[in-house]
Chains A and B, each alone.
Chain A
Amino acid sequence: GQSLEQPSEVTAVEGAIVQINCTYQTSGFYGLSWYQQHDGGAPTFLSYNALDGLEETGRFSSFLSRSDSYGYLLLQELQMKDSASYFCAVRDGNQGGKLIFGQGTELSVKP
Chain B
Amino acid sequence: DAGVIQSPRHEVTEMGQEVTLRCKPISGHDYLFWYRQTMMRGLELLIYFNNNVPIDDSGMPEDRFSAKMPNASFSTLKIQPSEPRDSAVYFCASSRLGTSGSPADYSYEQYFGPGTRLTVT
Contact = CB atoms under 8 A, between A and B. Distances in A.
A42 B115 contact: yes
Residues of B contacting A: mostly:
strand
A97 interface: yes
Instruction: State which size class the interface on A falls in.
Output: 20 to 34
Given A87-B43, A101-B42, A101-B43, A45 B59 contact: no
Interface string B91-121: 1010000000000110011111111000000
B67 to A, nearest CB: 15
B108 A31 contact: yes
Contacts of A100: 45
B57 to A, nearest CB: 10
A101 to B, nearest CB: 4
A43 B55 contact: no
Contact of A45 (B56, B58, B111): B111
A2 interface: no
B108 A48 contact: yes
Given A98-B45, A103-B42, A104-B42, A44 B58 contact: no
Interface residues of B, number: 22
B49 interface: no
A23 to B, nearest CB: 16
Contacts of B59: 98
A83 interface: no
Contacts of B113: 42
A41 interface: yes
A41 B4 CA distance: 13
B114 A96 contact: no
A99 interface: yes
Contacts of B111: 45
B112 A44 contact: yes
A27 to B, nearest CB: 15
Contact of A99 (B91, B104, B110, B115): B110
12 contacts: A42-B112, A42-B113, A45-B109, A91-B108, A95-B56, A96-B56, A98-B48, A98-B56, A101-B43, A101-B44, A102-B42, A104-B42
